[in-house]
Structure 1
Protein backbone atom coordinates (compact mmCIF):
# COMPACT_ATOMS: atom_id res chain seq x y z
CA UNK A 1 0.00 0.00 0.00
CA UNK A 2 1.70 3.23 -1.08
CA UNK A 3 0.10 5.45 1.57
CA UNK A 4 1.96 3.56 4.28
CA UNK A 5 5.34 4.44 2.80
CA UNK A 6 6.60 7.20 5.17
CA UNK A 7 9.28 8.49 2.82
CA UNK A 8 7.35 11.19 0.89
CA UNK A 9 5.02 12.06 3.76
CA UNK A 10 7.83 12.61 6.24
CA UNK A 11 9.51 15.14 3.94
CA UNK A 12 6.19 16.93 3.44
CA UNK A 13 5.83 17.07 7.22
CA UNK A 14 9.36 18.42 7.67
CA UNK A 15 8.95 21.07 4.97
CA UNK A 16 5.58 22.23 6.25
CA UNK A 17 6.87 22.57 9.84
CA UNK A 18 9.94 24.38 8.54
CA UNK A 19 7.68 26.84 6.81
CA UNK A 20 5.46 27.30 9.88
CA UNK A 21 8.35 27.76 12.29
CA UNK A 22 10.90 29.70 10.25
CA UNK A 23 9.61 31.32 7.07
CA UNK A 24 6.13 32.52 8.04
CA UNK A 25 7.10 34.27 11.35
CA UNK A 26 9.87 36.20 9.54
CA UNK A 27 7.37 37.44 6.97
CA UNK A 28 4.82 38.38 9.64
CA UNK A 29 7.35 40.25 11.77
CA UNK A 30 8.65 42.15 8.74
CA UNK A 31 5.17 43.46 7.92
CA UNK A 32 4.96 47.25 8.01
CA UNK A 33 1.73 49.10 8.66
CA UNK A 34 0.74 51.94 6.38
CA UNK A 35 -0.10 54.34 9.19
CA UNK A 36 1.80 54.29 12.44
CA UNK A 37 -0.39 55.02 15.47
CA UNK A 38 -0.02 58.50 16.93
CA UNK A 39 0.05 59.45 20.58
CA UNK A 40 -3.06 61.48 21.26
CA UNK A 41 -3.00 64.36 23.67
CA UNK A 42 -5.02 63.59 26.76
CA UNK A 43 -7.05 66.54 27.97
CA UNK A 44 -8.52 66.44 31.46
CA UNK A 45 -12.20 65.68 31.47
CA UNK A 46 -14.46 68.36 32.84
CA UNK A 47 -16.78 66.75 35.29
CA UNK A 48 -19.76 68.66 36.59
CA UNK A 49 -21.20 67.43 39.82
CA UNK A 50 -24.79 66.34 39.81
CA UNK A 51 -26.39 68.23 42.67
CA UNK A 52 -29.98 67.05 42.26
CA UNK A 53 -31.67 65.41 45.19
CA UNK A 54 -32.00 61.63 45.04
CA UNK A 55 -35.53 61.53 46.46
Structure 2
Protein backbone atom coordinates (compact mmCIF):
# COMPACT_ATOMS: atom_id res chain seq x y z
CA UNK A 1 0.00 0.00 0.00
CA UNK A 2 1.97 3.03 -1.17
CA UNK A 3 -0.50 5.47 0.40
CA UNK A 4 0.84 4.62 3.87
CA UNK A 5 4.41 5.62 3.03
CA UNK A 6 4.48 9.18 4.34
CA UNK A 7 7.86 10.36 3.11
CA UNK A 8 7.20 11.21 -0.60
CA UNK A 9 3.59 12.32 -0.12
CA UNK A 10 4.36 14.74 2.68
CA UNK A 11 7.00 16.48 0.56
CA UNK A 12 4.55 16.73 -2.36
CA UNK A 13 1.94 18.23 -0.02
CA UNK A 14 4.37 20.81 1.36
CA UNK A 15 5.72 21.70 -2.08
CA UNK A 16 2.25 22.16 -3.57
CA UNK A 17 1.16 24.41 -0.67
CA UNK A 18 4.34 26.41 -1.06
CA UNK A 19 3.48 27.00 -4.71
CA UNK A 20 -0.15 27.82 -3.93
CA UNK A 21 0.70 30.31 -1.19
CA UNK A 22 3.68 32.12 -2.74
CA UNK A 23 3.85 31.94 -6.53
CA UNK A 24 0.26 31.74 -7.73
CA UNK A 25 -1.21 34.76 -5.82
CA UNK A 26 1.48 37.10 -7.13
CA UNK A 27 0.83 35.95 -10.71
CA UNK A 28 -2.94 36.38 -10.35
CA UNK A 29 -2.69 39.86 -8.83
CA UNK A 30 -0.61 41.12 -11.78
CA UNK A 31 -3.60 40.76 -14.10
CA UNK A 32 -5.84 43.73 -14.82
CA UNK A 33 -9.46 43.09 -13.91
CA UNK A 34 -12.12 44.84 -15.99
CA UNK A 35 -14.68 45.03 -13.21
CA UNK A 36 -13.03 47.59 -10.98
CA UNK A 37 -15.27 48.65 -8.08
CA UNK A 38 -16.56 52.21 -8.30
CA UNK A 39 -16.70 54.57 -5.37
CA UNK A 40 -20.12 55.00 -3.83
CA UNK A 41 -21.69 58.44 -3.82
CA UNK A 42 -22.19 59.89 -0.36
CA UNK A 43 -24.93 62.30 -1.39
CA UNK A 44 -28.46 61.06 -1.91
CA UNK A 45 -29.85 61.55 -5.43
CA UNK A 46 -32.53 64.23 -5.72
CA UNK A 47 -35.78 62.51 -6.70
CA UNK A 48 -39.11 64.11 -7.48
CA UNK A 49 -42.38 62.94 -6.02
CA UNK A 50 -45.01 61.34 -8.22
CA UNK A 51 -47.82 63.68 -9.26
CA UNK A 52 -51.18 61.93 -9.57
CA UNK A 53 -52.94 63.66 -12.47
CA UNK A 54 -56.37 62.07 -11.96
CA UNK A 55 -57.08 63.49 -8.49
Coarse TM-score class (shorter-chain normalised)? 0.5 to 0.7
For 1:16-55, what aligned pairs fall within 5 Å after superposition? 16-33=16-33, 47-52=47-52
Tell me how large the CA RMSD over aligned residues is. 3.3
Instruction: List 4+ stretches of structure 1 deviating above 3 A.
Output: 45-49
Distance in 2 of aligned mates of 1:6 and 1:32: 41
Distance in 2 of aligned mates of 1:49 and 1:7: 73
Q: Which runs of 5+ in 1 are unaligned?
A: 40-44
**Structure possessing the higher relative contact order (Cα contacts under 8 Å, 6 or more residues apart):** 2
TM-score scaled to structure 2, two decimals?
0.57
Query: How many matched pairs?
Result: 48
- Matched with 1:10 is 10
